[in-house]
Amino acid sequence: MPDMHMRRNEGRKMATGATEAAIELRSTGESRNRSRGNPGTGDKEEVLLEVRGLKKYFPILGGLFRRPVGYARAVDGVDFYIRRGETLGLVGESGSGKTTAGMCILHLIEPTAGKIRFNRDGEFIEVNSRTVRSLRRSMQIIFQDPYSSLDPRMMVQDIIAEPLEAQGVRSRRERYERVEELLNAVGMSSQHMRRFPHEFSGGQRQRIGIARALALNPSLIVCDEPVSALDVSVQAQVLNLLDDLQERFGLTYLFIAHDLSVVQHVSDRVAVMYLGKIVEIADVEELFNNPRHPYTEALFSAIPVPDPDFQYKQIILEGDVPSPIDPPPGCNFHPRCRYARAICSKEEPVLREVGGDGHLAACHFADDLVLMGVWGPGIAQTG
Ligand code: SF4
């Protein structure tokens, strides 16, 4: 069992690189959640999106007839909700299933199982292949790569007007007036309308992508790593823009990212995914102060601290991420978990409430372990 660890942080030390850019966000040192007030534990009226038992298995084809010989469980039974007007951060390593979950929510790929329900004007509508077209106005996506997500042969005015046309806005003048409005909203101007994507920088292209996502006045936007392909210097501008637009248009975000410091800054709540499952979900401040799952602790310990005098012990996760084709029995994380005991390889822990206030964790020992947080006085030891 591990020994006591020194305090990870005094005050709030933050990550470097992309994170520093994020900190340039008009941060007052307060977390987003504190500045907005705690959104509470989630009245049903407030819930905009509800996801229950979401699964996406990709078939592995083999043999002479290319028949399924197995399945890669990219998303394996995920439950969460998002309240209207909040940002839910979704984090995890590459291959954890976070982008696949986002795609399933928008029905850009067909889920294998599970229910997704969207609250449209107080009525919950199941998102499926029948309803998705009518819900497309309400749910949009901002893609990670602003270079490949815009058609290089189309002018900006046509890229942004495309969803308007698809949703039946017939008048060309009306469409272009809306394009102008949207360009202004994302900090660009009508002068940019007749240019092509290659004439813009990465940050400007991402603004165009955001304008396109806003075209139909959506309520929910899935932001799939929206700043990870951008220069550090531009990341903060785009994050600030997303924050402004959320305030202005009352948007709700599912913010998918691997940079924990960006997620910390933009999110109200954060869900941590590992091998297709949510292993922990909590209010952002609670999670960063008081993680209850060993995987979350390991992710936090990898955040670099920009202080040469500050010493801490990084938790090195041993072994590789197990294959989603053949996940380990019991707790998926047990082959890499330094707290694992006999039960962990036999029984799968359920995602359950630990410590109140909607803090959920899927670990047999979540009540006993005291883990290292990023800001708080956590000291890792076993119970
Ligand atoms: Fe580690 Fe066991 Fe908890 Fe899984 S259930 S995270 S293996 S201690």
Give me the tens of pLDDT residue by residue for the chain, a chain 383 residues long.
Answer: 443 333 333 333 333 344 444 334 444 334 454 444 333 344 445 899 999 999 999 999 988 888 888 899 999 999 999 999 999 999 998 889 999 999 999 999 999 999 999 999 889 999 999 999 889 889 999 998 877 889 999 999 999 999 998 888 888 899 999 999 999 999 999 999 999 999 999 999 999 999 999 999 999 999 999 998 888 888 999 999 999 999 999 999 999 998 888 898 899 999 999 999 999 999 999 999 999 999 999 998 877 766 666 666 777 777 777 888 989 999 999 999 999 999 999 999 999 999 778 899 999 999 999 898 886 544 443 33
Burial class (CB in 10 A: 0-12, 13-18, 19+), 328: middle
pLDDT for residue 231 = 86
Separation between Cα atoms, residue 357 and residue 360, nearest integer Å: 9
Separation between Cα atoms, residue 235 and residue 218, nearest integer Å: 23
Strand ranges (DSSP E) for 266-318?
A: 269-274, 277-283
pLDDT for residue 332 = 93
| Closest atom, ligand 1, to C-alpha of 369 | 8
State the distance from the centre of ligand 1 to the C-alpha of 362, rounded, in angstroms: 8
Whose CA is closest to atom 3 on ligand 1? 363
From the CB of 127, is ligand 1 less than 6 Å away? Answer: no
pLDDT for residue 229 = 83
| Closest atom, ligand 1, to C-alpha of 344 | 2
pLDDT for residue 103 = 95
First to last CA, the chain: 10
pLDDT for residue 309 = 67
Contact 11, 310 (CB under 8 A): no
From the CB of 344, is ligand 1 less than 6 Å away? Answer: yes
Identity at 62, one-letter amino acid code: G
State the distance from the centre of ligand 1 to the C-alpha of 115, rounded, in angstroms: 28
pLDDT for residue 322 = 84
From the CB of 143, is ligand 1 less than 6 Å away? Answer: no
- In 272-300, which positions are buried (b, 16+ CB within 10 angstroms) versus exposed (e)? bbbbbbbbbbbbbbbbbbbbbbbbbbbbb
pLDDT for residue 373 = 83
State the distance from the centre of ligand 1 to the C-alpha of 72, rounded, in angstroms: 22
From 296, 315, 331, give the residue whose CB has the most ligand 1 atoms within 8 Å, as the site to mutate.
Answer: 331
pLDDT for residue 376 = 54
From the CB of 292, is ligand 1 less than 6 Å away? Answer: no
Separation between Cα atoms, residue 338 and residue 365, nearest integer Å: 12
| Closest atom, ligand 1, to C-alpha of 337 | 1
pLDDT for residue 311 = 63
Whose CA is closest to atom 6 on ligand 1? 363
Separation between Cα atoms, residue 32 and residue 38, nearest integer Å: 10
From the CB of 294, is ligand 1 less than 6 Å away? Answer: yes
From the CB of 334, is ligand 1 less than 6 Å away? Answer: yes
From the CB of 364, is ligand 1 less than 6 Å away? Answer: yes
pTM of the model: 0.85
Helices 202-214 and 156-166 cross at an angle (nearest 10°) of 20
Separation between Cα atoms, residue 236 and residue 193, nearest integer Å: 24
